[in-house]
Amino acid sequence: MKLARFNEGHIGIVVDEEIIDINDLVNKDLEAWPLVAMNRLIAEYQQFEPTLRAALARPRIPLSQVQLLTPIPASSKVIAYPINYHDHATEMGRQAKANNLGFFLKPPSSLSGPSDPILLPDLPDRRIDHECELAIVIGKRGKDIPREDWQDYVFGYSCLMDIVVRGKEERVARKAFDTFCPVGPWIMTADELGDPSNLRGRLWVNDELRQDANTRDLIVDIPGMIEIASHIMTLEPGDIIAAGTPAGVGPIKGGDHVKIEFEKIGSMTVMVKQTSGGRASIFETTAAVS
């Protein structure tokens, strides 16, 4: 099943090129804050699933007539594994990799969706890069999860772009700008996707293929990422794990359009817009690419 958010925050089921509005079944209060309706649905999915299956008979709306939003805007945390492909380690000149480095966190405020532009800060002396990543969505609370139990804790998968200002400042500060974590276009549930260990992911900028890799080449695999993260902190329904990026990272600029695609899951294209904000004092001196 493909679950999405659209328009004013309605939740829907995507079937082919159409969407079925199920908001009245799972999210009656669109004014509630924080926006945790999808988190609740994920946490209670087994209870809701029969109702959602029955809702497949409802009328459908063409996707072309709706505005898709990021699926989980109130994820409690986005857990990102750096240097998790050997070819990316080579292109960045890094010896340490995800199996030694662990992970970092991106703030939920950096999440954006298929209909949102990537807003670039006004840092003319800095390169701002795209990174193509698989998003793993956690389905239930877990702590100290053994790697052999990883499937019990995965709800589904999505596409994720990790946007970064290159430099020597702390990684989180360079990756925390609003809109620096586009996720979408929906969540593909784990039961429908099947084995995620051999998924091709690609990213284009202005129709130029920049990144093309497969999850079979991950240094820390999906069971390992869940095991590591859960031994350090409790995972919650709706948490997102960004699996790392392959080689081919490169700059984006205002006016670009960036497309990401993972087979079996789907694709989305987002625009890039230059802004006049974001000139934090830590970026006042030019730093080497990092």
Mean pLDDT of each 10-residue bin along the chain, 290 residues long: 96 97 88 91 96 97 98 97 81 72 94 98 96 98 98 98 95 97 98 96 97 94 97 98 94 98 98 97 72
Residue 286 resides in a domain:
no
**Count of the separate structural domains present in the chain:** 2
Residues 152 and 273 in one domain: yes
Kindly state whether residues 60 and 98 are assigned to the same domain: no
Decide if 288 is inside a domain: no
Say if 255 falls within a structural domain: yes
Kindly state whether residues 182 and 212 are assigned to the same domain.
yes
User: How far, in Å, CA of 36 to CA of 30, rounded?
Assistant: 10
Residue 287 lies in a domain: no
| Residue 137 counted as domain residue | yes
Residue 288 has a pLDDT of 53
Residues 61 and 88 both lie in one domain: no
CA distance 247 to 249: 6
Q: What is the model's pTM?
A: 0.95
So what's the pLDDT on residue 290? 54
Q: Tell me, yes or no, whether 226 and 261 share the same domain.
A: yes
pLDDT at 289: 54
Same domain? 140 vs 41: no
Rounded distance, CA 12 to CA 63, Å?
11
> How far is the C-alpha of 219 from the C-alpha of 243, rounded, in Å?
10
Instruction: Flag whether 290 is in a domain.
Output: no
What pLDDT, on the 0 to 100 scale, is given for residue 285?
Answer: 74
- What pLDDT was estimated at residue 84? 87
| DSSP E strand boundaries for the chain | 2-6, 10-15, 18-21, 61-62, 68-69, 78-80, 104-106, 111-112, 118-120, 128-130, 132-138, 154-161, 164-165, 181-189, 200-205, 208-214, 240-242, 250-251, 257-262, 266-274
CATH label of the domain that carries residue 231: 3.90.850.10
Residue 243: which region, alpha, beta or left (left: phi > 0; alpha: psi -120 to 50)? alpha
Considering the domain architecture, whether residues 11 and 112 belong to the same structural domain is answered as no
CA dist 107 and 116 (Å) reads 17
Residue at which a domain ends, from 11, 45, 69? 69
Q: What is the domain extent for residue 246? A: 78-280
Which of 15, 34, 69 is the C-terminal boundary of a domain?
Answer: 69
The confidence score (pLDDT) of residue 255 equals 98
pLDDT at position 130 is 97
Indicate the residue among 69, 89, 108 that finishes a domain: 69
62 shares its domain with 137: no
At residue 150, the pLDDT reads: 98
pLDDT, residue 87, reads 73
The residue with tokens 């990026």 is 245
User: Residue 46 domain-assigned?
Assistant: yes
Please give the Cα distance from 41 to 173 (Å, whole number). Answer: 31
